[in-house]
Structure 1
Amino acid sequence: MQIREFTESDRAELHALAPIVGEGSPTASLWGHPESEAAIYLDPYLDHEPESVFVAVDDDGRITGYLVGAVNSATFPSEEARMTEAIRRYRLVLRRGPALFFARAVADTVAARLRRRELAGEYTDPAYPAHLHINLAPAARGTGAADALIHRFLDHARTSGAPGCYLQTLTENTRAVAFFTRVGFAPVDRPAEVPGLRYQGRRVHQQTMVRSC
């Protein structure tokens, strides 16, 4: 397994891989429209900070996983801004799946505020300015690719001046939580409800985790 920096020629292959990397996990799909989901969680990283994107390549030259990140989250487009742009660009409120998701998200938000439950959101701490998202094809899990991608990004973030890094996963994704714990990330704050998202018919909860670079 080779870990290397992203090149523009990888873009099409990453787009083809993006819909399957979450297979079996609570975040396999948000609202069933892969193109708009990639416009939030993939393309902005390729466009704004390609030097912080790394890919795992197998012996046949195929990309089997990737990590996207930002060294300084304060200068990177926020998740809210990226989502707002995707909603506008793809007219998601006019598409049945996404429209149902957003309607449920609004209802969840109202209910959480009435009951004073914490909601998921972005994390800000100058001690952990970098952030990352990591995704592997099912066949690449357990190969060591995830470890290598994480450490490659942390080395990059450290040499770029970032003292620490955070990520956000779901408590219901127990495999991911166990992996991130093993590579040195620790949870901060309590898990927070993610409006709109369901896994096996149940609400899910965001867990923020941090570690030094």
Structure 2
Amino acid sequence: MIRPATARDRAAIARICLLTGAHGADATGVHGDDALLADVYALPYLDGPGGFGLVWDQGDGAVGYVLGTSDTASFQRWFSGEWWPRVAPTHTRVNETGAALAEEAADPRRMLDADLGAYPAHLHVDLLPEAQGRGAGRALIEAACALLAERGVAGVHLGASRANAGALAFYPRVGFAEVGGDEAGVTFARRLGGAQVAE
């Protein structure tokens, strides 16, 4: 049920990103422009340096994914220098919330808050309701970590909103430990090659 993402999955990936983009719930209408979320958090991983995408497909197309990059620093440079300048002008119908997200996306240090020396990779996991409770999240995480380990990556990190109780409970169960955060979110990380991050 896990397979590499292809160009034909782009629309499904964008849809999954939107339908899970409000702390795990449907973000339709939240930002005014419903295409904005995917251009910040999903689609660039199919194109950028070190990027990868794996999808959970139950037979009718992708209903979940793990997306990420093995090199966050290089990916951020590409995102700020090439991706965002190209796609930002297409998002003209954002509301106040969307404008705040676009401003955040334009920050050239947005992805550089974590300890990139120990955890240079990062990833995003999202599942539609029909894929939840089937082991898909765990399977996608393990597949992504195996892919990154094969690339020789030392560790991986990800962020979760404090408002997403499901994510906060899930990541420690799949080998991630909290390594940072603030009032809005938590940064989790996992060493690769079998060594779990110490809590």
Normalising by structure 2, report the TM-score.
Answer: 0.78
Percent sequence identity over matched residues? 30
> Cα offset for 1:79?
9.7
Contact 1:184/1:211 (<8 A) preserved:
yes
1:42 partner letter: A
* 2:175 corresponds to: 184
Q: Secondary structure at the match of 2:18?
A: coil
* 1:128 corresponds to: 119
> Cα offset for 1:148?
0.5
Distance 2:62 2:135 in 1: 14
- Alpha carbons of structure 1 residues 171 and 120: separation in structure 2 relative to 1, 3 Å: farther
Normalising by structure 1, report the TM-score.
Answer: 0.73
- Alpha carbons of structure 1 residues 100 and 43: separation in structure 2 relative to 1, 3 Å: closer
> Cα offset for 1:170?
1.0
Distance 2:111 2:74 in 1: 21
* 2:143 corresponds to: 152
1:68 partner letter: L
> Cα offset for 1:105?
10
Contact 2:48/2:79 (<8 A) preserved:
no
Query: Is 2:189 the counterpart of 1:210?
Result: yes
Give the root-mean-square deviation of aligned CA atoms.
3.1
Unpaired runs of 5+ residues, structure 1, are 107-118, 194-204
Q: Deviations over 1:76-97 (max 9, x none)?
A: 03598389537841354xx351
Distance 1:153 1:180 in 2: 14
Distance 1:104 1:160 in 2: 31
Contact 2:50/2:69 (<8 A) preserved:
no
Does 1 or 2 have the higher relative contact order (CA < 8 Å, sep 6+)?
Answer: 1
Contact 1:131/1:165 (<8 A) preserved:
yes
- Alpha carbons of structure 1 residues 64 and 138: separation in structure 2 relative to 1, 3 Å: same
Count of residue pairs the alignment pairs up: 184
Q: Secondary structure at the match of 1:122?
A: coil
- Alpha carbons of structure 1 residues 35 and 105: separation in structure 2 relative to 1, 3 Å: closer
> Cα offset for 1:23?
6.0
